[in-house]
């Protein structure tokens, strides 16, 4: 295969938004390295899968190394892997804290550092972090302090790295979803969750995919946190 064809790494790629992103990047002729803890091998020769826990630096090392060995380059990294737990602040356990910090922060750090190193070498690249609008617009009745700590950190580092890399050809952006209809939300909760968005419905996976693709093609945008949340970030409702 030609090493000129662009390559995207997508974490949390086995279902939901991650699975949608894999399909979308393939439709745009990218080759894709898809990783998740239990991801299955793909029949598409343009998709290379790496099963592993993104918390571990060894997984991050494998993903980037195999991207280079298989496809020769890394152009885009979408940090989609993440966990969310709503619970009163005083009821969070040490296990809750460690798991959220592990997936949402360490899972970002290890693979982004390795992917960015390759992007900086080639003088181009794009990093997209999937965060949450709850960071900027908390919702009464949805206590989510660990999401604020971890995903809020991703918002901050998105802007910090955008400035650090600004003159290198590497862009860094974030997509900040509201409540999206994914497998993590049971169907019997959809009516309740729909009411938590100002527009009165849940977002679709395609809404997030479209936002990531918009940023992918917007070469003059870096450091942006793009809210895809049915108006939640606009204010109280």
Write out the chain's pLDDT in tens, 237 residues.
Answer: 456 899 999 999 999 999 999 999 999 999 999 999 999 999 999 999 999 999 999 999 999 999 999 999 999 999 999 999 999 999 999 999 999 999 999 999 999 999 999 999 999 999 999 999 999 888 888 899 999 999 999 999 999 999 999 999 999 999 999 988 887 778 888 988 888 888 999 989 999 999 999 999 999 999 999 999 999 988 876
Where does 2-54 show beta strands of DSSP type E?
7-11, 31-36, 47-51
User: What is the rounded CA–CA span in Å between residue 234 and residue 53?
Assistant: 35
**pLDDT, position 95:** 98
Q: To 5 degrees, how large is the angle CA 133–CA 89–CA 81?
A: 45
DSSP state of 188: G
User: What is the rounded CA–CA span in Å between residue 175 and residue 228?
Assistant: 7
**Domains observed in the chain:** 7-234 (3.40.50.720)
**pLDDT, position 187:** 87
**pLDDT, position 214:** 98
Please report the sign of the dihedral spanned by the C-alpha atoms of residue 218, residue 214, residue 104, residue 68: negative
User: What is the rounded CA–CA span in Å between residue 21 and residue 193?
Assistant: 23
Say whether 63 sits in a helix, a strand or coil: helix
**pLDDT, position 135:** 92
Tokens of 20: 């949608």
80's CB contacts (< 8 A; 6+ apart) are: 10, 11, 12, 13, 17, 18, 21, 130
Q: How far is CA 99 from CA 16, 34, 152, 197, 237, in A?
A: 20, 21, 16, 27, 32
């Amino acid at each position: 295969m030609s090493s000129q064809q662009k390559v995207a790494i997508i974490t949390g790629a086995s279902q939901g938004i991650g699975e949608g992103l894999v399909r979308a990047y393939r439709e745009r002729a990218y080759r894709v390295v898809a990783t998740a803890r239990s991801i299955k091998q793909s029949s598409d020769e343009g998709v290379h899968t790496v099963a592993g826990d993104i918390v571990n630096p060894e997984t991050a090392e494998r993903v980037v190394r195999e991207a280079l060995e298989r496809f020769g380059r890394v152009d885009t990294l979408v940090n989609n892997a993440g966990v969310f737990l709503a619970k009163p602040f005083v009821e969070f356990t040490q296990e809750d804290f460690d798991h959220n910090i592990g997936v949402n922060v360490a899972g970002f750090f290890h693979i982004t550092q390795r992917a960015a190193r390759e992007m900086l070498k080639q003088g181009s690249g794009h990093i997209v972090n999937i965060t949450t609008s709850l960071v900027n617009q908390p919702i009464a009745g949805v206590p989510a302090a660990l999401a604020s700590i971890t995903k809020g950190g991703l918002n901050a580092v998105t802007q910090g790295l955008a400035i650090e890399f600004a003159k290198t050809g590497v862009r860094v952006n974030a997509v900040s979803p509201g409540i999206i209809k994914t497998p993590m939300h049971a169907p019997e909760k959809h009516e309740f969750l729909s009411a938590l968005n100002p527009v009165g419905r849940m977002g679709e996976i395609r809404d997030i995919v479209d936002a990531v693709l918009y940023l992918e093609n917007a070469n003059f945008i870096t450091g942006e946190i793009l809210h895809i949340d049915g108006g939640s970030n606009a204010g109280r409702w």
